[in-house]
Every structure is written in C-alpha cells, then in structure tokens.
Structure 1
Amino acid sequence: MRHFLFSLLMLCTVSAFSQDKGEEFFSWNAARKLTADDFKIKKGRATSSSFAQFSMGYSVKGFDFLSKNLNNRIFNHFIPSASWIDTTADASLVLTYQQTLFDLSEVYARQFRKKLKENKKKIVMGLDFVNGLSEQVMSDFTKRRLQYEEETRYATVAEKQKEWETQILKELEELKEFALK
C-alpha cells in the first residue's frame, strides 16, 4: 500500500482562474465524494493503486483585497483528467485515502482563506505577503499529510483512519465560515 501517490499542485497565479477557461476540474464539496468514475484514467494492475491530481491555490489581483469575500479567491480542486485509479485494486480503500487527502487539503484551503481575511491590509503592500502565506500553508499541509499517511498507512489502519476522518470533519466545521458558498 506504500505506493499510493498524491500530488498537489500549487498554482500561484495573479490572473483569474475559472471554469470558463475550459479546465476540467471540480471544487471540493462536502456533499460530493470522490468516486472511481472521477478518475478518468483507468489502469489495471498498476504499481500503485491511484494517483489523484489536486490543485490548491489562489487568484488575487488588483484590488481583490477590498472584496467582502476573499473566500472565492482561494481554490481547492480535483482534476479528473489527470487522475488515475487501478481498476483491479480495492476501490473503496483507494477512494477513502484520496477523499481524506482532498478533505485535508480543504482544511488548509480554509486556513489560507482565514489567514488572508485576517491580514487583508497586508495585501496592499503587494502580493509577496500572499505568496509567503501560501508557501506557509502548503508547508503545513505537507507535514500534516505525511503524518496522516504514516499513522494510517494510507488508510489501511481502520481505527486511525476513523480518528483522522473525525478530526478533519471537526476542523472543517470549525472553519465553516471560510467554506466556498
């Protein structure tokens, strides 16, 4: 199980990123869980069971800091066309693992939104602040992701997996003000 893969692209762009550009992705949503059909690339008997392409980042430009709701400027996406799943593996375990990573990345997207809101005035000084904040959030996320993977052995230790799921749900609830609406 050690061969599970996860990739998180940090898209740091000053231009707007939107579905209108034809990108195939969907945003994290509590009501929508990942399914095997979301992984557009299907493989049989692969060396690892899955690869989920996520994208977490921001789009801040001009006077966006004056906006009432900066939440919409931070995104957390799943990219189906760049994600694959081994159709011969235990899909439920693979999906549990990938969904937990997607949920955990949402926690950090919300933390990023919160920190950005708390520091709106610093954005006036330039985007260097936002870039630094983004790097810090990503570093924190990466450390936490590694902890999750080690403790649950990629979702295979059921008791630990349940603990992580409970903790992540608690954190998402605590940060609900910073969810996309």
Structure 2
Amino acid sequence: MYTFTIFLSLWARILIPFLFPDAAAVNANAPAPPVEEILVDQVRWSPDRRLSWDDFKALPDEENAHHALTAANLAVNARCLDSGFTYQVSCVFLPTQSWTKNTKSKKLLKHEQLHFDLTEVHARQLRKKLELFSCADVKSKLSGTVTSAFAQWKAEQDAFDTACKHGLNAKEERLWAADIAQRLQELEAYK
C-alpha cells in the first residue's frame, strides 16, 4: 500500500512568492535552504540504498487490511534568484509515517521498495520538465506543472497497487518492476 504527503512548507515556498509578490515575509534574495536541510528523519532515494523493515517506524494501522504502508513524497523546492530559475526535486521515504505488520516478508518489502522506486521515476520526470523552465515561465506554468506531476504520480501508484493486487499478483509485479527499472534507466540524466 502507498500513501503520499505534500510538504506544505516547500509547496508554500514555491507558491507564495508568485501568488503574493509583495508579501513582506518573503525575501526573494535569500537563498533557499537545500532540500537536505528540510528533510530530517527521511530517507532519500538512492540506487545503493534499499529500504529495510527497520525503516518502517510508524505503528501499524490494525484496522487497515493491508500489511504495510510506504509513505513517500516528492519534495520540491523552486525559485527565481538573480533572474535564474533553480529547483530541487527529491524523492523521499518517510519512516515515521510508514509501517508494516510483517517484518519477515521479503516479497512485501520488495513491493514497498517498488513504490519508492516509482516515486523516483516521477521525481525524475518532474526534474526533466522543470529543466525547461525559466523565470519568465514560473508564474504561468510552475503551479500547474507541479500539480499535474503530483496527480500523475498518485494515479500511477494507485494503478500499480491495483494491477499487482497490493503485491499478491507476482507476475504483474514482475512486469511493473521491469518497467520501473527501464524508466529509471531512461531518465538517468535526471537523477
């Protein structure tokens, strides 16, 4: 199972300067903090760092029929500074919001890892889109692009769980795993 969380502070950092350009609280010349500073107690996606059950720190939802929940997110930080558009998109796993009822199942852990890998696919797709932006585009395009990226990400996560029956359909899950691996490779330049 999968859930996603929008980092409102990051989202607000993107939208407030454009929705309220005269807002006193926004210092357009101040450098944006790196996403790494904001992402405390979170696991950034890496091809060398796979999830383990020790990463799932939340208490299981006993009323939930599923055996695990992966909470992941796309952390987005974008701004214009000195007429240059800069951005960071990070794929992160949220340990304190992720849980499991079964710490023995390697098959279940692999399914949850695929949710995280699929989130990285969408992070790379968003980086690819944002690479084409300039400060002139930001007011008219940024919000819609990010909103669309989040909607596509959520829809594909739901499609993955539906097709794989939350990890019970091994054949379908192998197809998805191969597709996710191929897409990660195709988007390697946006890692």
What interval of TM-score do these two structures reach, taking the shorter chain for normalisation?
0.7 to 0.9
**Distance change >3 Å, CA 116–CA 44, structure 1 → 2:** closer
Indicate if the aligned counterparts of 2:73 and 2:119 stay in contact, CA closer than 8 A: no
Indicate if the aligned counterparts of 1:46 and 1:86 stay in contact, CA closer than 8 A: no
Q: CA deviation at 1:177?
A: 0.3
Equivalents in 1 of 2:147, 2:73: separation in Å? Answer: 14
2:48 aligned with 1:36: no
1:74 aligns to what?
89
Unaligned ranges ≥5, structure 2: 14-31
1:86 aligns to what?
101
**Counterpart selection for 2:159 from 147, 166, 177:** 147
Query: Secondary structure in 2 aligned to 1:58?
Result: strand
Q: In terms of Rg, which structure is larger? A: 2
Q: Give aligned pairs, total.
A: 169
Query: Secondary structure in 1 aligned to 2:48?
Result: coil
TM-score, normalization by structure 2 = 0.77
Q: CA deviation at 1:54?
A: 1.1
Residues 1-181 of structure 1 mapped to structure 2, 5 A cutoff: 4=1, 6-11=2-7, 12-14=11-13, 16=33, 18-21=35-38, 23-43=40-60, 47=64, 48-63=66-81, 66=84, 70=87, 73-87=88-102, 91-118=105-132, 120-121=133-134, 123-179=135-191
Equivalents in 2 of 1:90, 1:65: separation in Å? Answer: 52
RMSD: 2.5
Unaligned ranges ≥5, structure 1: none
Equivalents in 1 of 2:84, 2:175: separation in Å? Answer: 39
Which residue identity is paired with 1:16?
P
Deviations 1:39-72 (CA, angstroms, capped at 9, x unpaired): 12354966431222212131012328736x74xx
Q: CA deviation at 1:106?
A: 0.7
**Distance change >3 Å, CA 46–CA 94, structure 1 → 2:** farther
Indicate if the aligned counterparts of 1:93 and 1:156 stay in contact, CA closer than 8 A: no
Equivalents in 2 of 1:177, 1:65: separation in Å? Answer: 25
108-117 vs 142-151, which deviates more? 142-151
Indicate if the aligned counterparts of 1:13 and 1:58 stay in contact, CA closer than 8 A: no
TM-score, normalization by structure 1 = 0.81
Equivalents in 1 of 2:36, 2:105: separation in Å? Answer: 28
Equivalents in 1 of 2:97, 2:47: separation in Å? Answer: 22
